[in-house]
């Protein structure tokens, strides 16, 4: 059985994109560290199983991560997808799921890891911004890159307008990365990711650039 576990903390828009993607999985589980996360209700309305592991009930990150990892292990997932999961995971957790733990980040990594990516991009005056799906490693936002999408930074952009345009591309590339993984088309060799379709490497399809009109 192919099971996808999605971890969320808030509104769950990237989770929603995955739920709408008709992925080749048998079961989807949504887990949140926040019992008030809007995404939980969205998932429940679609008949998806949801669980809460509230980080506020634990004295430290290690204890939280141990319980979260144990809950995830109950479902024996093929893949764990971080879809706006706003917790830094411990090295032990990452090592436990390394190679089947991916994240969506709102910048063209390795540029702008961490928070406030759109504000930082505007302050730095970059001309191209975007988003990245990558494998998670102990180093924050620096794991092997699976797919990216680039958007042009417009002169009139605000943090909100840029964030909205990047989010549209997140909703495109995150389901694509998950689809490749669950269909066994991703090959991770060291720090490099290859996409294999019909035994042919397709590295040229790992950057999506919609241009000015989208």
Catalytic residue positions, numbered: 105
In whole angstroms, give the CA distance from residue 214 to residue 207. Answer: 15
In whole angstroms, give the CA distance from residue 107 to residue 57. Answer: 32
Q: Which residue shows structure tokens 């490693």?
A: 137
Positive or negative, the Cα torsion across 24, 69, 102, 20? positive
Who's near 168: CB < 8 A, 6+ residues apart? 214
Q: How many CB atoms lie within 10 A of CB 142?
A: 16
Are the C-beta atoms of 31 and 7 separated by less than 8 Å? Answer: yes
Q: How many CB atoms lie within 10 A of CB 154?
A: 12
């Amino acid at each position: 059985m192919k099971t996808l576990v999605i971890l969320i903390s808030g509104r769950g828009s990237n989770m929603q994109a995955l739920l709408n993607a008709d992925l080749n999985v048998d079961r989807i589980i949504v887990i949140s560290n926040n019992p008030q996360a809007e995404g939980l209700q969205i998932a429940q309305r679609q008949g998806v199983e949801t669980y809460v592991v509230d980080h506020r009930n634990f004295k430290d990150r290690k204890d939280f991560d141990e319980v979260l990892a144990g809950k995830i292990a109950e479902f024996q997932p093929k893949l764990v997808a971080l879809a706006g999961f706003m917790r830094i995971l411990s090295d032990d957790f990452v090592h436990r799921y390394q190679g089947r733990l991916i994240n969506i980040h709102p910048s063209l990594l390795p540029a702008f890891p961490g928070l406030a990516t759109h504000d930082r991009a505007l302050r730095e005056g970059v001309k191209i911004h975007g988003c990245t799906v990558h494998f998670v490693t102990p180093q924050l936002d620096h794991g092997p890159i699976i797919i990216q999408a680039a958007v042009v930074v417009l002169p009139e952009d605000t943090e909100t307008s840029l964030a909205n345009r990047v989010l549209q591309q997140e909703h495109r590339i995150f389901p694509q990365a998950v689809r490749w993984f669950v269909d066994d088309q991703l090959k991770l060799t060291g720090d490099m990711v290859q996409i294999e379709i019909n035994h042919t490497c397709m590295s040229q399809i790992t950057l999506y650039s919609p241009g000015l009109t989208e």
